[in-house]
Amino acid sequence: MQMMNNTFEEFNEEELQSLRIQWDKIVHYRHECFGLKLFLRLLDLHPEYLCLFGFTWDEFDYHETARLRAHGINVMYMLNMLFDNLNDMDMIDELICKLIRLHLMRGIQKSWFDDICEPFETVLREFSQKLNIEHPEFIRKAFMFVKNRMQLLYDDNMAQVLLDQSSDISETY
């Protein structure tokens, strides 16, 4: 309950409504995929992450791949789900823990999430102009909230995954 109160203080109802309308505009923009652009920018700035997505360093045609586009769409709908639930902290944490585990399994470290901030800012600026987004600051705030919450809960989830693994092993023997 305490946690829920915190979130209500963090985002007021007017902000949440505006955030949802604006994010919906971005998600359903037919001409370009925000999620794809976001990760293309990340990979341009950090080619060391290419291998995480199954690409090699010298592969340049990843810009065109359906795999990265599908991933981009997935990321957008995940953010949609999170943004729709910002008034329910328990639900947010449930969703975030699943998301953390998904990244943990792929060896992604929590500090790497800082590298998504600049790409997010750049692509948000571009889309805000194109789509006449009035309050990009609400979107920025919601995204940063999610990213920070993921980083905050990362180590707890890591410990839990390790515990689960060790109990799996001891059950085997």
Both tokens of 54, joined, read 């199954």
User: Measured from the CB of residue 76, what is the shortest distance to ligand HEM in angstroms?
Assistant: 9
Nearer to ligand HEM, 34 or 89 (CB): 34
11 scored as a contact of ligand HEM (CB under 6 A): no
Residue 170 phi, psi dihedral angles, 5° rounding = -65, -25
Q: Please spell the DSSP secondary structure of 54-81, one letter per residue.
A: T--TT--GGGG-HHHHHHHHHHHHHHHH
Question: Are 19 and 97 contacting, i.e. CB atoms less than 8 angstroms apart?
Answer: no
Q: How many residues are present in the chain?
A: 173
52 scored as a contact of ligand HEM (CB under 6 A): yes
116 scored as a contact of ligand HEM (CB under 6 A): yes
Nearer to ligand HEM, 111 or 170 (CB): 111
Which of 78, 91, 131, 158 is the binder for ligand HEM (CB under 6 A)? 78
State the chain's maximal CA–CA distance in angstroms: 61
Under DSSP, the state recorded for 63 is G
Give me the residues that bind ligand HEM (CB under 6 A), please: 49, 52-53, 67, 70-71, 74-75, 78-79, 99, 102-103, 106, 108, 112-113, 115-116, 146-147
